[in-house]
Amino acid sequence: MALVKVTSETQLKGIISKGVSVIDFWAEWCGPCRVTNPLIEELSKEFGDKVTFAKVNIDENPALAEKNSIMAVPTFLFYKEGKLSDSLVGAAAKSQFKEKISELMEK
């Protein structure tokens, strides 16, 4: 599944409401975001339809960032069936993402 670009709260709620989802809050000017972008793209291909990956540009959607208490980018929020299960702030290794996602899929 391709990465989903989130542009509204309604769209975000629809994405997180079912299954496992990873929401990437990012900005174009953010160096660590540029490092993690390829990882998120790879993971979205690896997990396919099992996990939804979505991106929220905080500069284009400041209200979504504020509503989700985003204080730094990149911030990744991990949801299962609409419930926030975990978060990760800053650049991280692909293995960390896989571990968090796998844990959610097992629950």
* CB atoms closer than 10 angstroms to residue 74: 25
Write out the E strands in 1-107. 4-5, 20-26, 51-57, 75-80, 83-89
**Residue 1's pLDDT is what?**
54
CA distance 105 to 107: 6
> pLDDT per residue over 37-91, tens digit each?
999 999 999 999 999 999 999 999 999 999 999 999 999 999 999 999 999 999 9
Q: Is 55 a catalytic residue?
A: no
pTM over cut 0.85:
yes
Looking at 20, 30, 58, 65, which residue is catalytic?
30
**Residue 90's pLDDT is what?**
96
Looking at 12, 15, 33, 58, which residue is catalytic?
33
91: tokens are: 């650049």
Domains and CATH numbers, the chain: 4-106 (3.40.30.10)
**Residue 3's pLDDT is what?**
85
Q: Is 71 a catalytic residue?
A: no
